[in-house]
Amino acid sequence: MPGDHPGQSSHAYRFPYGPVAIVTPFNFPLEIPALQLMGALYMGNHPLLKVDEKVAVVMDQFMRLLHRCGLPLEDVDMVQCSGETMHALLLEADPRCTLFTGSSRVADILARDLKGKVKLEGSGFDWKVLGPDVPDAAGQEYIAHVCDQDAHACSGQKCSAQSLLVVHRNWADAGLYGRLGAMAAQRSLHDLTVGPTLSVSTATVKAHVAKLLALPGAELLWGGEELNGGQHNIPAQFGAMQPTAVRVPIEAVLANIHLCCTELFAPFQVVTEYTDEQLPLVLQLLEAQEEHLTAAVVSNDLVFQHEVLSKTTNGTTYVGLRARTTGAPQNHWFGPAGDPRAAGIGTADAIRQTWSCHREIIQDFAAVDKGWALPART
Amino acid sequence: MPGDHPGQSSHAYRFPYGPVAIVTPFNFPLEIPALQLMGALYMGNHPLLKVDEKVAVVMDQFMRLLHRCGLPLEDVDMVQCSGETMHALLLEADPRCTLFTGSSRVADILARDLKGKVKLEGSGFDWKVLGPDVPDAAGQEYIAHVCDQDAHACSGQKCSAQSLLVVHRNWADAGLYGRLGAMAAQRSLHDLTVGPTLSVSTATVKAHVAKLLALPGAELLWGGEELNGGQHNIPAQFGAMQPTAVRVPIEAVLANIHLCCTELFAPFQVVTEYTDEQLPLVLQLLEAQEEHLTAAVVSNDLVFQHEVLSKTTNGTTYVGLRARTTGAPQNHWFGPAGDPRAAGIGTADAIRQTWSCHREIIQDFAAVDKGWALPART
Amino acid sequence: MPGDHPGQSSHAYRFPYGPVAIVTPFNFPLEIPALQLMGALYMGNHPLLKVDEKVAVVMDQFMRLLHRCGLPLEDVDMVQCSGETMHALLLEADPRCTLFTGSSRVADILARDLKGKVKLEGSGFDWKVLGPDVPDAAGQEYIAHVCDQDAHACSGQKCSAQSLLVVHRNWADAGLYGRLGAMAAQRSLHDLTVGPTLSVSTATVKAHVAKLLALPGAELLWGGEELNGGQHNIPAQFGAMQPTAVRVPIEAVLANIHLCCTELFAPFQVVTEYTDEQLPLVLQLLEAQEEHLTAAVVSNDLVFQHEVLSKTTNGTTYVGLRARTTGAPQNHWFGPAGDPRAAGIGTADAIRQTWSCHREIIQDFAAVDKGWALPART
Amino acid sequence: MPGDHPGQSSHAYRFPYGPVAIVTPFNFPLEIPALQLMGALYMGNHPLLKVDEKVAVVMDQFMRLLHRCGLPLEDVDMVQCSGETMHALLLEADPRCTLFTGSSRVADILARDLKGKVKLEGSGFDWKVLGPDVPDAAGQEYIAHVCDQDAHACSGQKCSAQSLLVVHRNWADAGLYGRLGAMAAQRSLHDLTVGPTLSVSTATVKAHVAKLLALPGAELLWGGEELNGGQHNIPAQFGAMQPTAVRVPIEAVLANIHLCCTELFAPFQVVTEYTDEQLPLVLQLLEAQEEHLTAAVVSNDLVFQHEVLSKTTNGTTYVGLRARTTGAPQNHWFGPAGDPRAAGIGTADAIRQTWSCHREIIQDFAAVDKGWALPART
């Protein structure tokens, strides 16, 4: 980028915003606030941090650790309060930028009230497509295991948890549902492979399942009941559902996209199937959703991969037979993809883009020619 | 960015938003819409373009040129309508991203109503600081000329026009005001070196000048009257003011920042002075403003440059004896600096950041080991 | 890269070498000298250009075009002379950097005599591997066509021409040799799809073919004779061979690598086959060669691609069912790969690395503290 | 860098060379071999390391530390031998790339014998220019201290030690030589602020000083004698000189560039002076040297800085009143600047460019159209 003349040169810098805020949810009590806080600090900002009050004690301890390690007390402000209080605080403080991780509904309210001075990681809706190429038995077992983990681990309360599984007919024919159902059946309260859902009750999940089962051709694949037939000590305000899946024909999904693509933040997923000829319907479905978070294209078929990737938009998209939607901490770029408000997390590029802004400084220092005079007006 | 294992690799892509909108103001009828439109197209978006209705005819002709040169008719939608209609249209269409260039007031309304899915180039408030080092006579004349152009060219209706001139006492002592006043006096309707202001009337400017002159120690440096004593044919709804400057002591400016830093979009500026000891007051003033657009630090003194640059934030900051606030088309990064909504214009980096979003694609294709089996639950 | 203290910052620049030289071969009379010359100029160097004397008239005309378009006469020096004269000239002038494109033998002599102040694009030896996945008939025909072009177009005198074809047994079984032989048989002097070879005679090629056919299990696949049974008017100092291929078992190739991997710069290639189990032998063969230029891995099997790519080194490597060794002008990075002397051509990165060097400028201007005094010696 | 068609994309990778060698000198027994070795390992190479035999014991201990920390025994080969043996070894092993840090004379021999497959950090010749702007007393004392350290620390045996000091008349008038002479006089064997020179004897330095003093107008500024009048126990094969400076008029320097710019690797420097009008002579002198290593432009005058920087070439150039030639470990880019063989050290960019090479991998996998057929020959 040369200048107009000798002595002029232009340099781009990434500058901190200065005063910023961070608001994070219950489901990752440490990872999300710690990574975003450190990113904000690395870029030179002064963060005000608020963690969901149900789990704030975890980050509170981490702050004490940071102080013990040398973080100056005045570099971070951590506030313990409800979401309503934080909302009022943000309106009054008007930080240069607020990072919010949480539900799309609250994200939109914040974005409106803060006039867009936000970076968001909405909850999104995460899908996985299994392509036409089915590997050998070990490969099928491995991929079923990844699907089970993506949908059911932490009772489906990862922001990147798989909520829609789009299955090529070849996989259905190879017995995928049997493998998945068996894995789901192994999960139990006893070994903590299932547990309570904090933001959605058993009744809510059951009602949603019932609506889906009323769609033409829908059927329950596994689950659908309360854990242990209701014999547990999970408090009533939380949910306690078995890992659950409902299969809905793709035509019915397309005719009821809003219903089928509602995220529950519970161990629940919609499953649908397609044939080679129906791939265009799949692409239509994937792009009909508003929110794009993570996605996975489980296939080693390069032409298939390209067809799906080039016609969809997701912040973080895994591709290949080992593709997953959750659990790969080195590649974090979530948020509402295809959206100027999208935040990233964890990588150097994500930290730079989320926590700093562009400043262009142009040097222009050449001496003025001794004979210079004002140009004549004509 | 290596992955966890062989066969995993992560690539970052910049993806288009898809459907986007561009809303541009009257003052650059061609440059702003043409550069932003081309940027949006280069990154693969489908733009809906709306130019201020007073000047839209210019861009309308440019669109015809583009079509003649081969732009497919369906690649850009240009709409001819009022701001109100466009606002309603945007709410209904909900584009993935809307670029708005114009007043900060409208920018904030749009940002709120579009839930932050915007990129902004607000009008901002542009300042210039003249440092302690005064060059020889030719240098002084050149710098005075740049100041005159930055404040008065196009009757102060460039978005980067200088609205606050902060003058080191050495420059005042060297006769800067005499040079500037003489240059201002040369401007006339006859040769179009002054002209109408489209968004602010004569009365508004005069009322603002009167308020400033009422501040303690304030004085009129030049101008202050209607052009040609009112003998002109500029319609009454537009403004017709002489290039005008009011000098206000720095203490009075600091006590009345909102008044002194109100941008008029007219050939008007506030001038204030400082001594070496008062530099901290200057820095306090510069950072007290809400909106940061372009700025200039006119000095070849490296230590002075560093002191001002490291304690201020502006999107595009010129530094050096030739520093200007307007007119360097190769270095465009305006917008509300230090703000996540800030847009850029013209450079490759500005186009990428304004008109595309991050997408991370992680390949993960390694064959599953033949002997792989589900890990035992413990 | 922060400095030790305020006021210190470090910027990396790419600087031109200044006086440089360019020496290019006969086979691309325009593309190679034009691209390298423009690259050298873009980065600010002053090039001395020497094109192979048999074809220099082409670049001579291009220089006149450049002058007509405004290139200052003194910006490039073009010299018309023999290789020996140029060698003497280079030793005397000692340019800061000399780009040589041509045979590896001459490249090594130049590198030695110029003490390594060179960038090289040696002729190398280009291989193509056909993987286990054989597509449908149209795909087979297309890939055979690419193989035919890579090996036989311009009578094999592209620097990236395919000289070794490594064929998976699946392709042999699918009738690849029949397709290739038929395409080779279509080539004729009449339509210029074959022609003279400028640096290798008919006798030399025939002698080389005879040596290869003497290897255990070797057989002639196609060609092997002089064009038109010797009925042509190609001068005797040039070569006039039919497109020719000799198949050699992979064990024999490995036992005679130097012979089998000698590049002829003629429409000639060695063909060898492998099974899945023999892939390690193929990798051993590919890495046994000294010179690495372009390569192609013709497969859409991701695991196979990864296995070959991660165990070989080539400057420009094409991968995928459409992979080729020649003819993709947008991706030029040849030279002796894995070699600090390697040059690139055509891309922005190639131009920067071939035609400029690193300069680090560290600003360090902070004022010295008023009370600073010499540290006491202890 | 888009491809020709869907499914084609090009990615640039930095690849290791594989087998490489590192040869380092006596003067930094740990820093140079440790940084270069780690850089080579970080990029995935397999290094053979040879440290100057006089000091190899230091690096030998560091290798043991690395092994203790987990470095696999087979990842690095360290050889203990003379330079002659190493030379023979390199010719036989023919590593893909050899990094040599040491004298320019040996560097040229290696570059020739290894046919240019080298990266070099030659000893070079380091200059410093003091500009026209002389700061206050504390600033002068600080800068004199930096000059004293750059020229005399480690008895001038840093590869970036200042060997030529070019002094603006303003500095001479301000008493610079008095300050420097006093600092030189403080250095003594007793506190190890001077010591033996390992590669140059007392007699050699004295003979060189005598030749310089014979030039017209030359005078001894300080030093010139053996340490302690010869009363010391430094062995005879090493040197034992006082810190020494000879002032030579700039015209005489220009007339005897080879003599005046010979590097001794001892606490010795040539000093010369210039006026504003003589700056072109200074620039002529600076660019007349063959080898360019580090340099310093001691001035906060932006126009002066630009004049010198834009007309000289040095790998690492410090600029500003605090500029130094030695001792800033975060900014290492030495070697023969303006030379394709130049190596860097320590920074991420230096490691990448010194220890890896470019590999371009082009994916091209789109399915062939079902109807594809061989184009008809015409």
The Cα of C312 is separated from the nearest Cα of chain D by a number of Å equal to 10
Phi, psi of D78 (to 5 degrees): -110, 130
Amino acid C14 reads R
Low-confidence ranges of chain A (pLDDT < 50): 1-2
CB contact (8 A) between residue B303 and residue C7: yes
Task: State whether residue A302 sits within 8 Å of chain D by CB.
Answer: yes
| This prediction's pTM | 0.92
The pLDDT profile of chain C, 378 residues, written as one tens digit per residue, is: 345 677 888 888 899 999 999 999 999 999 999 999 999 999 999 999 999 999 999 999 999 999 999 999 999 999 999 999 999 999 999 999 999 999 888 999 999 999 999 999 876 789 999 999 999 999 999 999 999 999 999 999 998 899 999 999 999 999 999 999 999 999 999 999 999 999 999 999 999 999 999 999 999 999 999 999 999 999 988 999 999 999 999 999 999 999 999 989 999 999 999 999 999 999 999 988 777 788 999 999 999 999 999 999 888 899 999 999 987 656 677 767 889 999 999 888 899 999 999 998 888 888 888 888 887 765
The angle that helices A302-309 and A279-288 make with each other, rounded to 10 degrees, is 40
- First-to-last CA distance in chain B? 33
CB D138 within 8 A of CB C372: yes
Given B97, B147, B159, B261, the catalytic residue? B159
SS3 B148: helix
Judging contacts by C-beta atoms under 8 Å, the chain D residues touching residue A7 are 302-303, 306
Per-residue confidence (pLDDT) for residue A38, from 0 to 100: 97
C partners (3+ CB pairs within 8 A) are: A, B, D
Amino acid D58 reads V
The Cα of D289 is separated from the nearest Cα of chain A by a number of Å equal to 25
Convert the pLDDT of each residue in B303-336 to its tens digit. Answer: 999 999 999 988 889 999 999 998 765 667 777 7
For residues D162 and D155, give the distance between their C-alpha atoms in angstroms, rounded to a whole number: 11
Distances in Å between the alpha carbon of C110 and those of B10, B248, C113, D55, D91? 41, 72, 5, 36, 18
Q: Where are the beta strands (DSSP E) in D91-242?
A: 97-102, 118-122, 126-130, 162-168, 219-222
List residues bridging with B22 in a β-sheet: B49, B99
Closest to A130 (Cα-Cα) out of A120, A139, A121: A139
Task: State whether residue A348 sits within 8 Å of chain C by CB.
Answer: no
CB contact (8 A) between residue C367 and residue B303: yes
CB A343 within 8 A of CB B340: no
Convert the pLDDT of each residue in B3-34 to its tens digit. Answer: 567 788 888 889 999 999 999 999 999 999 99
Amino acid D146 reads V
Mutate to test the interface with A, among B112, B128, B179, B331 (most CBs of A within 10 A): B331
Per-residue confidence (pLDDT) for residue C2, from 0 to 100: 40
Given D31, D84, D97, D159, the catalytic residue? D159
Task: State whether residue A4 sits within 8 Å of chain B by CB.
Answer: yes
Pick from D11, D302, D320: CB nearest B300: D302
CA atoms within 13 A on the CB side of C304: 23
Judging contacts by C-beta atoms under 8 Å, the chain B residues touching residue C7 are 302-303, 306
Judging contacts by C-beta atoms under 8 Å, the chain B residues touching residue C366 are 303, 306
Q: In b/e form, how buried is each residue of A251-262, taking b as 16+ CB within 10 angstroms?
A: ebbbebeebbbe
Pick from A7, A303, A367: CB nearest D367: A303
Confidence bin at D2 (pLDDT 50/70/90): very low
Q: What is the mean pLDDT of residues D85-94?
A: 97
Convert the pLDDT of each residue in D282-324 to its tens digit. Answer: 999 998 877 778 899 999 999 999 999 999 988 889 999 999 9
CB contact (8 A) between residue A302 and residue D6: no
Task: State whether residue B301 sits within 8 Å of chain D by CB.
Answer: yes
For residues B285 and C86, give the distance between their C-alpha atoms in angstroms, rounded to a whole number: 66
CB D325 within 8 A of CB D128: yes
List residues bridging with B297 in a β-sheet: B129, B319
Closest to D126 (Cα-Cα) out of D263, D225, D246, D6: D263
CB C331 within 8 A of CB C316: yes
Closest to B362 (Cα-Cα) out of A146, A343, A315: A315
The residue length of chain B stands at 378
β-pair type (C8-16, C356-364): antiparallel
Task: State whether residue D118 sits within 8 Å of chain C by CB.
Answer: yes
- What sign does the CA torsion over B261, B265, B271, B277 have? positive
Q: What is the DSSP string of B329-352?
A: TT----SSSSSTTB---SSHHHHH
CB B295 within 8 A of CB B317: yes
The Cα of B371 is separated from the nearest Cα of chain A by a number of Å equal to 7
Q: What is the mean pLDDT of residues D14-26?
A: 95
Judging contacts by C-beta atoms under 8 Å, the chain D residues touching residue A365 are 302-303, 306
Closest to D261 (Cα-Cα) out of D202, D321, D215, D195: D215
Judging contacts by C-beta atoms under 8 Å, the chain B residues touching residue D301 are 300
Strand order in the sheet with D356-364: C219-222, C244-247, C268-274, C162-168, C126-130, C294-298, C316-319, D356-364, D8-16
Pick from D302, D306, D365: CB nearest A302: D365
CB contact (8 A) between residue A365 and residue D303: yes
Given C97, C121, C260, C307, the catalytic residue? C121
Q: Given a cut of 70, is residue D328 above it in pLDDT? A: no
Per-residue confidence (pLDDT) for residue A39, from 0 to 100: 97
The angle that helices C56-69 and C31-42 make with each other, rounded to 10 degrees, is 40
For residues D361 and A165, give the distance between their C-alpha atoms in angstroms, rounded to a whole number: 33
Task: State whether residue A175 sits within 8 Å of chain D by CB.
Answer: no
Which residue in chain D is spatially nearest to C305 when comparing CA positions? D363
CATH number of the structural domain C8-123+335-361 = 3.40.605.10
CB C312 within 8 A of CB C280: no
Per-residue confidence (pLDDT) for residue C291, from 0 to 100: 74
Q: What is the DSSP string of D100-124?
A: EEE-HHHHHHHHHHTTT-EEEEE--
Two structure tokens written together for B18? 């898809």
Q: Chains A, C: CB contacts under 8 A, how many?
A: 10
CB D227 within 8 A of CB D194: yes
Phi, psi of A219 (to 5 degrees): -150, 150
Q: What is the mean pLDDT of residues D263-277?
A: 96
Map out the domains of chain B as residue ranges. 8-123+335-361, 126-319
Task: State whether residue A183 sits within 8 Å of chain B by CB.
Answer: yes
A partners (3+ CB pairs within 8 A) are: B, C, D
Helices (H), B174-278: 176-186, 202-213, 250-255, 257-260
Task: State whether residue C11 sits within 8 Å of chain A by CB.
Answer: yes
CB D372 within 8 A of CB C329: no
For residues B9 and A374, give the distance between their C-alpha atoms in angstroms, rounded to a whole number: 59
Residues of A with catalytic annotation?
Answer: 121, 159
Closest to D359 (Cα-Cα) out of D38, D44, D36, D22: D44
Q: What is the mean pLDDT of residues B337-366?
A: 91
Q: What is the DSSP string of C149-207?
A: HHHHGGGG-STT-EEEEEEEHHHHHTTHHHHHHHHHHH--TTTTSS--BSSS-HHHHHH
- CA Rg, chain C, in Å? 25
CB atoms within 10 A of CB A29: 21
The residue length of chain C stands at 378
The residue length of chain D stands at 378
Per-residue confidence (pLDDT) for residue A2, from 0 to 100: 41
Judging contacts by C-beta atoms under 8 Å, the chain A residues touching residue D306 are 6-7, 365-366
Mutate to test the interface with C, among A302, A305, A365 (most CBs of C within 10 A): A302
Two structure tokens written together for D272? 């010369």
β-pair type (C162-168, C97-102): unpaired
Q: Does domain D126-319 have CATH number 3.30.310.220?
A: no
Which residue in chain B is spatially nearest to C307 when comparing CA positions? B7
Kindly state the helix (H) or strand (E) to which residue D140 belongs, with its residue range: helix D137-152
Residues 6+ positions from D378 with CB-CB distance below 8 Å: C191
Closest to C288 (Cα-Cα) out of C253, C318, C323: C253
Two structure tokens written together for A50? 């608020």
Amino acid C328 reads A
Kindly state the helix (H) or strand (E) to which residue C42 belongs, with its residue range: helix C31-42
Q: Given a cut of 80, is residue B1 above it in pLDDT? A: no
Amino acid A108 reads D
Per-residue confidence (pLDDT) for residue C377, from 0 to 100: 65
CB contact (8 A) between residue C15 and residue D338: yes
Calculate the average pLDDT of chain B. 93
CA atoms within 13 A on the CB side of A45: 32
Phi, psi of C50 (to 5 degrees): -135, 120
Q: What is the mean pLDDT of residues D156-163?
A: 91
CB A29 within 8 A of CB A58: yes
Task: State whether residue A331 sits within 8 Å of chain B by CB.
Answer: yes
Mutate to test the interface with B, among C304, C306, C361 (most CBs of B within 10 A): C306
Concerning whether C261 is annotated as a catalytic residue, the answer is: no
Kindly state the helix (H) or strand (E) to which residue D91 belongs, with its residue range: helix D83-93
For residues C201 and C198, give the distance between their C-alpha atoms in angstroms, rounded to a whole number: 8
CB atoms within 10 A of CB A28: 20
Closest to B111 (Cα-Cα) out of A356, A357, A290, A114: A114
- What sign does the CA torsion over B333, B337, B338, B342 have? negative
